[in-house]
Amino acid sequence: MNKKIIATTSLAGCFGCHMSFLDIDERIFDLIELVEFNKSPIDDIKKFTKQVDIGIIEGGCCNSENIEILKAFRENCNILVSLGECAIMGGLPALRNGISIEECLEEAYIGGPTVQENTNKILPNDDELPMLLDKVYPCHEIVKIDYFLPGCAPRADLIWDALIALVTGNEMELPYEVVKFD
Amino acid sequence: MKNEIITITSKYQDDRHRLMDILIDIHDLYGYVSEADIELLSERLGMSEVEINETITFYHFFSRTPRGQFNIFLNNSITACMRGHDLVKKALEEACGTTFGSVSQDGMFGLYSTSCIGMNDQGPSAIINDKVFTNLTTYRVMKLVADLKSGKSPDEAIYESTGDGNNSDPYVRAMVFNNIRKRMVILDKDHIKFEVVRSLLKGHSPEEIIDIVENSNLRGRGGAGFPTGLKWHFGRRVESEHRVIICNADEGEPGTFKDRVLLTEFPDLVFEGMVIAAYATGADIGLVYLRYEYRYLYKFLNHILDKMRKEGLLGKNIAGIKEFNFDIRIQLGAGAYVCGEESALIESLEGKRGEPRDKPPFPVEKGYLNYPTIVNNVETLATTVRIVKNGADWFKGFGTKDSLGTKLLSVSGDCKFPGIYEVEWGTSIREVIEMSGADDVQAVQVGGPSGVMISVKDIDDLGTTELMKWYKPSGMMVAQKTFDRKLSYSDLPTGGSIMIFNNKRDLLKEVVMNFMDFFIEESCGSCSTCRNLPFIMKQKLQKILDGHGVRKDIDDLLSWGKIIKISRCGLGQTSANPIVSSILNFRYLYEQHVKAMADFDNVFDLEKSVEAANSFVGRKANFHHA
């Protein structure tokens, strides 16, 4: 059987979901028998080198780079999974959505109580920097997402079960405890 | 300023449970509650400032920032929108020189939108400093604002005449019309006031009165339909030092205005019903929770209560019955739809945010200040007077087998004769349409926004559709071919709101969107489901209406509609009804808009979404392509 190919990324996330993924511990040896990694921080491949079966997205979209990467994932992956609260709902970064972007920048770089060094009141505007979006978007508002794995971060067992289900093509068991509201 | 606040709190014995009254008095004096006032209140009432802020921010008519000298609250119900609300709104903005949600620079006018104010048969209407102005047009609005600018008071600016009946009473003087179109037994003009309390109660024990009401099978007229006799029975059963009768006059369901008419023309009947309920249940405390929108009736109602006290119909040993002590106080609300839910209403009566309580315990066990409390609708109380006077068997002569008696309908929308119709239960929608002189009717909304839209095809599957299992209709939007359905607890239960829409109306764009706005505005915010889902569901509907919808969007809406059922109260549970029921029964309206072939469409525009940040930091857009 051909190995399935997996890609992962963290957009506006904290890498907590990736850490949780690593919590599958020694099962990573089993996993590597089943799958091959492509673009991912796990193997540090920066660009897609082939069409991928499963793309796993951590984090929502807060800047133009997130959008580009997410679109590249959609183009290069057959199945996309939103992993964790931030990818699904924007999560902690989306707390800024109730505040205007101008106010956020002002607080972060000019007027905030922890701003001490920025005497010239410079706002980050270098051409090389990604551009900030007006608000933080969940991934499914940008591209079509096929599956959602909720949690902050989703438990390692849940990620494992979901991956195995996707790789083997078997249905995943979702008992009430997993899908209950809170 | 300090002394005035202390005068006010002293008037209410520094009782924190009277916070609503205290805040209303402060608003009357200053138009808003300042931070200094809040600090002082916290000291006087022994509450934290946070608690006081919680209450202030919950209600529409309270404010922590200065409002205008004249505050205009324009009603934005669907029927008002159908009768030129948008034009009136624009005219008001131009005439007052400010936009809605803010105060004009000279501090003269504050403009605000507000949900249904119980004037659907004479909209668009507005409340200006507690006075109601009905049938507004752009011309009238301009004249009105000019009058106010020239120094007239809102009272003097009433531009034509006061309304019919008691609307012209010196204690009311409102330009509101009753529009009573059909009278049967409740609206019978020839009744003898307080006859039951004066001469009938003495001959019956409290248990006998409860028996009569129980035998009549009277069910609550507010919409939920709980058997009234049973409620009284439960209330009486609990041992307690005090018992409370509350008259729920927080008529907030959009499209309902029958209680307003009852309180205007038959306040004696409503109060008499309360006295009877008090006698039957052994209650000594009576409260009327009057929605703030009906404040123009406050003096008038208090005047009636004073007369009753003088005639020995309230107070000690009522009507000569020993140890029968009962009095009634009117408590004003401050603008919150959810306070019509009985436990939220009780919270509000205690000076708190009107958030529904967890049940059990039910109010009949632990209600107002933890005393057993019976909350009855205005119309229910009025009906009990007729029942006690004429007997249960007489009452059973009206209506159908499972829905006895008559019902007051509040009819509005596309019809010639909007107003109040007293009909027997079992009256069909077609009959209501004919009575009200409506033609070219596309749909009829029965039971307000929390109602359901039903079309012909789905009626047959009602019992079998999986969706109906979790779906408890509290009202319905009825399509043309099913106009023969009958108003009754088993078929079309209703609190009496009937809104008629003709074929020129866009049901989704106009009606459903307006109803969703209502639920978004009125959610108390306690349950995350009701706080969030109506908002994102409306966004999704907007996406569909904008031509960006796909089939999956319709399915999403249906599945989100299920989740919302876990909300704590009826408002939350029904807040997806406008969308869910219109999909279930008018699905073709949605399918007209969605893309049949696409499986995904986002409305996201990268260039637009980076504009704000870029211009603030001073850079040009630069799109790398990875």
Chunk chain B into consecutive blocks of 10 residues (it has 626) and report each block's average pLDDT, rounded to whole numbers: 90 96 96 95 96 95 95 94 95 95 94 94 93 93 93 80 91 94 93 92 94 94 87 92 96 92 97 97 97 97 97 95 96 91 94 90 94 96 96 94 92 95 92 92 83 40 34 55 78 84 91 93 90 95 94 93 87 88 85 89 91 94 68
Report the alpha-carbon angle B555-B515-B221, nearest 5.
Answer: 110
Per-residue model confidence (pLDDT) at position B599: 86
A69 touches chain B (CB under 8 A): yes
The single-letter DSSP state of residue A115 is -
Contacts of B367 (CB under 8 A, 6+ apart): B244, B246, B343, B346, B373, B374, B375
The answer to whether A141 faces chain B, any CB pair under 8 Å, is: yes
Cβ contacts below 8 Å, chain A against chain B, sum to 63
The pLDDT assigned to B458 comes to 36
Give ranges for CATH 3.40.30.10 in chain B. 70-160
Residues of A in contact with B623 (CB under 8 A): 64
Render A76-111 in DSSP notation, one character per residue: HEEEEEEEHHHHHH-TGGGGGGGS-HHHHHHIIIII
B239 burial level (CB within 10 Å; 0-12, 13-18, 19+): exposed
CATH of domain B70-160: 3.40.30.10
The shortest CB-CB distance from B626 to any of A68, A125, A133 is to: A68
CATH 1.50.10.10 is held by the domain B182-395 = no
Contact assignment for B618 to A123 by CB distance below 8 Å: yes
| Residue of chain A whose alpha carbon sits nearest to that of B623 | A64
Q: How far away is chain A from the Cα of B361, in angstroms, using its nearest Cα?
A: 24
Spatial neighbors of B113 by CB under 8 A, at least 6 apart, are: B73, B74, B75, B76, B89, B100, B101
Q: What is the mean pLDDT of each run of 10 residues along chain A (182 residues)?
A: 91 96 95 94 94 97 96 97 96 96 94 89 92 96 94 93 92 82 54
Whether domain B506-626 has CATH 3.30.420.40? no
Bridge partners of residue B422, in order along the sequence: B408
**Can you read off the two tokens belonging to residue B144?**
């009105």
> How confident is the model at residue B226, as a pLDDT?
87
Q: Which two tokens stand for residue B417?
A: 């004769």
Residue A126's closest chain B neighbor by CA?
A: B619
Fold of B398-505: Ubiquitin-like (UB roll) (3.10.20)
**How far, CA to CA in Å, does A105 sit from each of A91, A131, A137?**
19, 12, 18
Smallest CA–CA distance, residue B530 to chain A, in Å, is 14
Chain B residues close to A133, C-beta within 8 Å: 606, 609-610, 613
Q: How far is CA B45 from CA B39, B52, B232, B290, in A?
A: 10, 10, 34, 24
Nearest by CB: B614 against A65, A131, A135: A131
Neighboring chain A residues of B609 at a CB cutoff of 8 Å: 133-135, 137
DSSP for B264-319 reads: HH-HHHHHHHHHHHHHHHT--EEEEEE-GGGGGGHHHHHHHHHHHHHTTSSBSSGG
Residue ranges, comma separated, of all CATH 3.10.20.600 domains in chain B are: 398-505
List of chain A residues whose C-beta atoms are within 8 Å of the C-beta of residue B617: 105, 123-125
Paired tokens of A108: 């972060």
Whether residue B610 and residue A134 make contact (CB cut-off 8 A), yes or no, is yes
Name residues 561-620 of chain B within 8 A of A (Cβ).
563, 566, 599-600, 602, 604, 606, 608-614, 616-619
Tokens of B398: 């009206």
Tell me whether 0.95 is exceeded by the ipTM.
no
Nearest to B602 among A72, A125, A141 (CB): A141
Alpha carbon distances (Å) from B356 to B341, B346, B399: 7, 9, 33
B626·A69 Cβ contact <8 A = yes
Q: Residue B256 contacts by C-beta under 8 Å, 6 or more apart in sequence?
A: B116, B118, B120, B410, B448, B495, B496, B497
Among B161, B132, B66, B74, CA closest to B295: B132
Q: Could you give the residue range(s) of every CATH 1.20.1440.230 domain in chain B?
A: 506-626
- Contact (CB<8Å) B624/A65: yes
For the purposes of burial, counting CB atoms within 10 Å of the CB of B235, is it exposed (0-12), middle (13-18) or buried (19 or more)? buried
Q: If we measure between CA atoms, which residue out of B388, B383, B364, B380 comes closest to residue B244? A: B364
Amino acid at residue number B279: Y
- Check B612 against A67: CB less than 8 A apart: no
Residues B372, B238 contacting (CB under 8 angstroms) = yes
**The predicted structure's pLDDT at residue B572:** 87
Conformational region of residue B241, where left means phi above 0, alpha means psi within -120 to 50, and beta covers everything else = alpha
CATH fold of the domain at A4-96+134-179: Rossmann fold (3.40.50)
The dihedral sign for the CA sequence B547, B549, B551, B553: negative
* CA–CA dist B124, B55 (Å, integer): 29
How far, in Å, CA of B340 to CA of B4, rounded? 32
- Does any CB of chain A come closer than 8 Å to the CB of residue B536? no
Contacts 24+ apart (CB under 8 A), B430-439: B430/B483, B430/B484, B432/B487, B432/B498, B433/B483, B433/B500, B435/B181, B435/B182, B435/B411, B436/B181, B436/B411, B436/B500, B438/B413, B438/B414, B438/B500, B438/B502, B439/B502
Nearest to B261 by CA among B161, B378, B159: B378
In this complex, do A143 and B602 lie within 8 Å of one another by their Cβ atoms?
yes
CA distances from A75 to A70, A78, B301, B356, B455 (A): 9, 8, 70, 48, 43
Tell me what pLDDT residue B506 has. Answer: 92
Q: Of the candidates A64, A101, A143, which has its C-beta nearest B612's C-beta?
A: A101
